[in-house]
Amino acid sequence: MVGVEKECLRVASDGTLSSTAHPIELGRALTHASITTDFSEALLEIVTPPYQNLASTLSHLSDVQNFVYSKLPDGELLWGTSMPCGLKLDCDVPIGRYGTSNIGQMKQVYRRGLGLRYGRKMQAIAGVHYNYSYPDSFWQILAEVEGRSPDQDFISAQYFALSRNILRFGWLIPYLFGASPAVCGTFFGTKPPPDVMKKLARNTYYEPYATSLRMGDIGYQNNRDESTTVNACYNSVDEYVNFLKSAITEHSSKYETLGLFDADGEYQQLNTNLLQIENEHYSSIRPKQITEPMEMPALAMQRRGVRYVELRSLDVNAYDPLGINDEQLRFLESFMLFCMLCDSPPMDAKEQLQNKSNLIAVAHRGRDPELQLQRGDKSVSLNQWGSEILDMVGELCDLLDVEGQPKVYCNSLTRQLEKLHNPSQTPSGLMLQELVDNEEDFFTFGLRKSQEHQQQSQVLSAEKQKQFEQSVEESIQKQAEIEASDNVSFQEFLDNYHAQLQ
């Protein structure tokens, strides 16, 4: 089962960040199942349900995006790249608003805390999340092969094994699909860009071999001075849950210094702990369980195990109007299966730091032919290691392709092999070359792509348009009901929420 969550900034016709509220014509961000916002009021998030058929996932994503286009304020666009442009000040990024209910206030305060701790501009970076799960029939077969019972403990253990291998081999994702090798100078504000960056065209900075600056040092990461503490263990459900519980309850003197309340006595973060809530922990992969109303994610996983995994290392594909395409989804499915079936021993802190180092190295220098990655106690070239991985993925592509039908999985793998052996064919390589050939800055490139994507949008059928209109009205009514049902103060609401851990 595959679902996607696509983030994209709303921008004005001149490419500057939209200052308008989340359009009521799109429903309420708090309660709409398919159209919400992430950090910012301007950072739209389109969510698809999980589908067995990849075409259905893309079709749903396309339908929702086309509906969004039909309801955007005049002149607005959906920004076509991961990295934002035209951000003059940190306060120019408006924080998402979710109404007057206690849960709505909690979501807003959490975002205030993120902006306070990491900066709002960093939170304006967009990505695509890939949600993946296996059907019961898969678990029955796998458990039988391994002589186990296909119970929830077995399933959770396998999802954690998959997650460990994503951490080991996931550097391949930003290499193949990274699309953020350059950034607008306004992203750095009054601070100078990092020394490793070079200037390209007007107010554009890049790293010559970068693949995904979004996944690198300038992207969203938990603060490095606390990285040894904010370091999840993926060896089991219990260890992962214990980490989350510890991080959301352990006091941080740094965040206490920032203050729990602002000058007006309003909450500016949910607490002064290492993490306000579990979602603040950054990782390229998250094992997840669906939560009940007001249930903490850590407790949901402790009680019911892992339901699916969320891959978070995908940049928005600037070369596709949807930000992701069938070729990517086919490869990711086969790559996920490889990570599931490949041996996945427990991971110690040393290996986890090594995996992070490899990911950062590829984000900043992935197309460098001299780049060496660390595999255990040895160095290995990206090309050699990548070739070994793709050879094994290729065996699974042969199994996934249906006899007598187009070889969609093998064809996708062939395309990834081309990119592995020719870095100029990666999205990051293509983007930098396009900037050079057109003598174009990143802002102009991003605006041009955004305009092209909007021009390719399509008018929905009357029936689909009516269905979306109805979902908008339902979300408005649902938020009103939530607000009317609140019967405790916000402080008591927060106290009750945190008391779950007691």
**pLDDT tens-digit series, residues 51-105:** 999 999 999 999 999 999 999 999 999 999 999 998 878 888 999 999 999 999 9
Q: Quote the CA–CA distance of 337 and 355 in Å, as a whole number.
A: 20
pLDDT in tens, 237-256: 999 999 999 999 999 999 99
**pLDDT given at position 222:** 64
**pLDDT given at position 189:** 85
Q: Measured between alpha carbons, how far is residue 298 from residues 130, 172, 194, 263, 386 in Å?
A: 20, 29, 36, 32, 34
Question: Around Cβ 391, how many Cβ atoms within 10 Å?
Answer: 11
pLDDT in tens, 439-458: 999 999 999 999 999 999 99
| CB 278 within 8 Å of CB 296 | yes
**pLDDT given at position 214:** 96
Q: Quote the CA–CA distance of 211 and 218 in Å, as a whole number.
A: 13
For 16-51, the DSSP string reads: SBP-SPPPGGG--TTT-SSEEESSBTTEEEEE---B
pLDDT of residue 228 exceeding 50, the answer is no
pLDDT in tens, 115-138: 999 999 999 999 999 999 999 999
Q: Quote the CA–CA distance of 110 and 267 in Å, as a whole number.
A: 9
Least confident of 224-228, 335-339, 358-362: 224-228
pLDDT of residue 227 exceeding 50, the answer is no
**pLDDT given at position 224:** 45
Q: 112-122: string of b/e by CB count within 10 Å (b at 16+)? A: bbbbebbebbb
- Say whether 89 sits in a helix, a strand or coil: coil
Dihedral of the alpha carbons of 126, 219, 366, 46, in degrees to the nearest 10: -20
HSE, side-chain direction, 13 A CA sphere, residue 21: 9
Full set of structural domains in the chain with CATH: 2-501 (3.30.590.20)
**pLDDT given at position 90:** 87
The average pLDDT across 27-39 equals: 98
Specify the DSSP class assigned to residue 188. Answer: G
Q: Which residue has the tokens 């042969």?
A: 398
Tokens representing residue 212 in the block: 């995904």
The average pLDDT across 146-154 equals: 95
| CB 484 within 8 Å of CB 478 | no
pLDDT in tens, 172-220: 999 999 999 999 999 998 888 998 999 998 899 999 999 999 999 887 6
**pLDDT given at position 346:** 97
**pLDDT given at position 226:** 46
**pLDDT given at position 502:** 81
Q: Quote the CA–CA distance of 244 and 399 in Å, as a whole number.
A: 37
**pLDDT given at position 86:** 85
pLDDT in tens, 458-496: 999 999 999 999 999 999 999 999 999 999 999 999 999
Kindly report the average pLDDT of the chain as a whole number: 95
| CB 50 within 8 Å of CB 1 | yes
